[in-house]
Amino acid sequence: MTSSTVSAPSLGRDIRVMGLVGAAHWASHFFHLVLPAVFLLLHDEFQISFAALGLLTTLMYGASGLAQTAAGFMVDRFGARRVLLSGLTLLSTATLACGLVNSYWMLLPLSALAGLGNSVFHPADLSILTAKVSPHRLGRGYATHALCGNLGWAAAPTFMITISQIWDWRVAIICSGLIGLAIVAAFLIWGADLEDTPDTSAAVEPIPMGRMMDNVRLLLSTTIISCFLYFAFLAAALIGIQSFGMPAMVDMFGLTLAEASRSVTGFLLGTAGGIFIGGILADRTDRHDRIAISGMITSSLFIFYIAMTSGLAPAMVLGLLVAAGVASGVTTPSRDMLVRAAAPKGASGRVFGFVYSGLDLGSALIPLALGFALDQGRPETVFYAAAGFMAVTALTVVQVRRQVVTA
């Protein structure tokens, strides 16, 4: 009885922290695909190329990546909760405004503003989880965080296409912005005590903010750079499927827009299922590198098969993408545990902010090239690129594991 009395508040607190942070991460990932989900509709509405649409994605992730390391320093200096709420408010408002534009050119600055809002999420929410979730549940905390993000990705295509078919794409975008603002309100009501505070009882001295050269040496260490490259290659793989998977499948296999949307959603739901499995595995092993390497290589093989095979039936495309999603999703909690092991005490905001900016770098550099490939009638390039980048991530995991073990 005493044990349950003591453990219950801790469990309840952990669930609330995971739920609120997960909701914010869900919104972040949902907004990633609000515009890409209606790229085909924007292509027809504004009579623009896929390369021009890719520029919107490049601007969003470019702004996010450039600002994310600074956001990590802001988290360590001012606290994660207030930085997180500021970013989510900016992201939601900028996205909502995209539904009010009357020309393509107005989407460009709004995409950049949305990227600035997006920059805060990984340093802020992962810092909250690291500070507030019980250590023995942290693997599941990271898994819940990643799972909610992938569910946000999975929800966006279906939500946007459904609302667009009932009304139009403008209404769909405005509704998505309102969802984000509702999550901000929930945080204000139920998340007042989620400010991350340093553990003053820790034996390891935190790295002071003022020692700039220490910060530079930390972020440019081999381990942290390897983590950064892991996320850059991973994002380069994912952004192609998320942003251009639908038009590529329509062109390659003659799928309808609804069938292509279901296939992308299947990939993202498969990823979510894999994350759930990966969270359990991450709490039961310390060989997170093995999980990350095997999952990424397996996923790359499924996607490579899609790229090299013509005439696949819709059900086959869906099945292969679901399998690829599960394999990549299993790796997600383990990758976060590897980053956590590499981050010194007191520097989690800086480290998470820097390494996760690799996601934005990879997402920013690839869309223009893939959009150009689609304009040139080479849709298979989307899947060849995704398979190749996923395979390369395995090499960075080997380096991260070697450095963490040595340290």
**Dihedral (Cα; 156, 175, 89, 158), 10-degree rounding:** 0
Q: For residue 139, which amino acid is it?
A: G
Gap between the Cα atoms of 111 and 49, Å rounded: 17
Tokens of 169: 């794409």
Residue that the structure tokens 């690129």 belong to: 385
Q: pLDDT at position 201, please?
A: 41
Supply 18's token pair: 């995971």
pTM of the model: 0.78
Sequence-ordered alpha helix ranges (H) in 133-168: 138-166
Per-residue confidence (pLDDT) for residue 73, from 0 to 100: 81
DSSP states along 213-279: HHHHHHHTSHHHHHHHHHHHHHHHHHHHHHHHHHHHHHHHH---HHHHHHHHHHHHHHHHHHHHHHH
Copy the structure tokens of residue 201: 């009882």
CA gap 277, 392 in Å, rounded: 23
Cα of 40 vs its chain's centroid, Å: 23
Buried b (16+ CB within 10 A) or exposed e, 203-227: eeeebeeeeeeebeebbeeebbbbb
CA distances from 41 to 95, 165, 261 (A): 17, 10, 13
Q: Tell me the torsion sign for CA atoms 17, 23, 24, 28.
A: positive
Q: How far apart are the first and last CA of the chain?
A: 42
What pLDDT score does 208 carry?
A: 55
pLDDT in tens, the chain (407 residues): 444 444 444 777 788 888 889 999 999 999 999 999 999 899 989 999 999 999 999 999 999 888 887 887 888 788 888 899 999 999 999 999 999 999 999 999 999 999 999 999 878 887 888 778 877 787 778 778 888 988 898 899 989 989 998 999 999 999 999 999 999 998 888 877 676 554 444 344 455 555 667 677 777 777 788 888 888 998 899 989 988 999 999 999 999 888 998 999 999 999 888 988 887 887 777 777 788 888 999 999 999 999 999 889 999 999 999 999 999 989 887 877 777 776 666 666 677 777 877 888 888 888 989 999 999 999 999 999 999 999 998 888 766 555 544 44
Domains and CATH numbers, the chain: 11-192+211-406 (1.20.1250.20)
